[in-house]
Amino acid sequence: MAGTTIAGVIEEFDGLRLVCDPDDSRRPDVVQGVTSAAQTLAGLLVPRPVRTALDLGTGSGVLALTMARRAQHVVACDINPRALDFARRSAHLSGIRNVEWRQGDWYSPVRGQRFELIACNPPYVVSPETQLLFRDGSEATAGVVRTAAEHLVAGGLAEFLINWVHEPDDWIAPLRDWIPPGCDALVVHHATMRPDQYAQTWVPAGPDHDTRVARWLEWYRERGIKAIGAAFLLLRRREDDGRARLQTLEASTRPTPRAGVHVERLLRGTDLASRGDDALRAAALAVVDGVRVEHTTRRRAGAWQPGPATLRVVPTVGVQAVVPGDLLAMLWDLDGTRQLGAVLADLPSENRAEGLALARRLVELGFVEPAAR
Ligand SMILES: C[S@@+](CC[C@H](N)C(=O)[O-])C[C@H]1O[C@@H](n2cnc3c(N)ncnc32)[C@H](O)[C@@H]1O
């Protein structure tokens, strides 16, 4: 750092000090501040202690420094030497010393190395433009996701924000090719936009705004692009050779800060659910703290009729769950004092199969988990 002069601004985020370019910078190698995407992914990072972590495309260093609080050692890479200068300065100002900064193209600075946690907020914007290092070059994203498997230890996680082109009625199909063998995947679909919505979102205001939007739309038309999705994608390197699982979830809200707590629950939940019905019945399940239930009860034919309930949780990756009115009573019984099998036995016999399916769904969605003993 000695001898370099960096004219940057300092942004504060979650107790970190991050050096970045001013908002109005037009440099192609601009180092952005803490964008909403960076905040989202920082929140989604699992809060587990790890020995080794990797931040790919570190920019101001926000994800590397967030992980450095729970990792013994972090390697942070970027192709942009200016970003690394900024990020080193961010680490210094934030009092963080366990990050190693390396320059190079994606995984090339970590050839042959494996990590327990990888984070990457790649330049994912799908567009004809190529000049901005932090934003353009979305075609690289699929390769960055696929190659993660070669850099994860068994049980290790890689977390990405992605955008991708898909058919309007099927956002999952293209992503199946992105998941590398040997990895389970979780995809939380946040949104899909039509090309006109997408271009309006990403083309910045300015005198050439309309011309640029028109150029983007022409480019989409030429390629037959009708829909662009946005999601959080997580890979977990399997510890065995079992069949890889792909869990796809639809978000109804944006992820909240500390959503990584929910990510950990989703992982534990899919593990428990995959062990089969007997394992579920044997678990003493409890609704997790932070769950909010909204439902309407109507008076009909002289009796109270509970309508379906919507469950949300904070912190959240953005998903919600629906509990049918006739199974609402079961939800109150999931308090961790009894095995699920005993709770199901209290239901009318015609509701037990549906009750078991609901419990599995709530476990997979991280609304319910085995009570701590
Ligand atoms: C969207 S920014 C994310 C920055 C930071 N991680 C954050 O979340 O704010 C993408 C980053 O990827 C870097 N990048 C672009 N192409 C790259 C490449 N081929 N290899 C490594 N990093 C690259 C950019 O320089 C930029 O810092």
- Enumerate the domain spans of the chain: 9-260, 277-370
107: helix, coil or strand? coil
The residue to which tokens 């330049």 are assigned: 123
Least confident of 17-26, 102-111, 112-121, 330-339: 17-26
Which ranges of 231-351 would DSSP assign to H, the alpha helix?
A: 260-274, 277-282, 328-333, 340-345
User: To the nearest 10°, the Cα dihedral for 25, 29, 30, 34?
Assistant: 160
Rounded to an integer, the average pLDDT of 229-255 is 92
Q: How many Å apart are CA 354 and CA 346, to the nearest integer?
A: 13
Where is pLDDT greater, at 133 or 147? 147
Residue nearest to atom 17 of ligand 1 (CA): 79
- What was the pLDDT predicted at 6? 59
**What is the average pLDDT score of the chain?**
95
The closest-lying atom of ligand 1 relative to the alpha carbon of residue 135 is 1
In this structure, CATH architecture of domain 9-260: 3-Layer(aba) Sandwich (3.40)
Nearest CA-CA partner of 283 in 328, 339, 329: 339
Question: 358 and 326 in contact (C-beta within 8 Å)?
Answer: no
Beta strands 228-237 and 285-287 are unpaired
Encode pLDDT of 279-313 as tens digits.
Answer: 999 999 999 999 999 999 999 999 999 999 999 99
Residues with CB under 6 A from ligand 1: 32, 35, 38, 57-60, 62-63, 77-80, 83, 105-106, 121-123, 133-134, 137
Rounded to an integer, the average pLDDT of 11-21 is 97
Other Cβ atoms closer than 10 A to 51? 11
* 2 confidence band (pLDDT: 50, 70, 90): very low
- What was the pLDDT predicted at 344? 98
Rounded to an integer, the average pLDDT of 245-258 is 96
CA of 93 to the centre of ligand 1 (A): 21
- What was the pLDDT predicted at 128? 95
Say if domain 277-370 classifies as CATH 3.30.70.
Answer: no
Question: 98 and 72 in contact (C-beta within 8 Å)?
Answer: yes
% of the chain residues with pLDDT over 90: 90
pLDDT of 368 above 70 = yes
Rounded to an integer, the average pLDDT of 92-117 is 98
Least confident of 21-25, 319-323, 356-360: 21-25
CA distances from 305 to 107, 296, 300, 324, 353 (A): 57, 9, 7, 11, 21
Rounded to an integer, the average pLDDT of 46-69 is 98
CA of 226 to the centre of ligand 1 (A): 26
pLDDT of 85 above 60 = yes
The residue to which tokens 């909403």 are assigned: 36
The residue to which tokens 């389970």 are assigned: 184
- What was the pLDDT predicted at 3? 46
277-370 matches 9-260 in CATH topology: no
Tokens of 155: 């049980």
Encode pLDDT of 21-47 as tens digits.
Answer: 998 888 999 999 999 999 999 999 999
Residue nearest to atom 13 of ligand 1 (CA): 57
**What angle in degrees, to the nearest 10, is found between the helix axes of 209-223 and 195-202?**
140
The residue to which tokens 């997580």 are assigned: 234
Choose which residue among 79, 106, 138, 141 to substitute to test ligand 1 binding: the one with the highest number of ligand atoms within 8 A of its C-beta.
Answer: 79
The closest-lying atom of ligand 1 relative to the alpha carbon of residue 32 is 9
Tokens of 287: 């609704």
CA distances from 139 to 146, 164, 279 (A): 12, 9, 42
pLDDT of 73 above 50 = yes
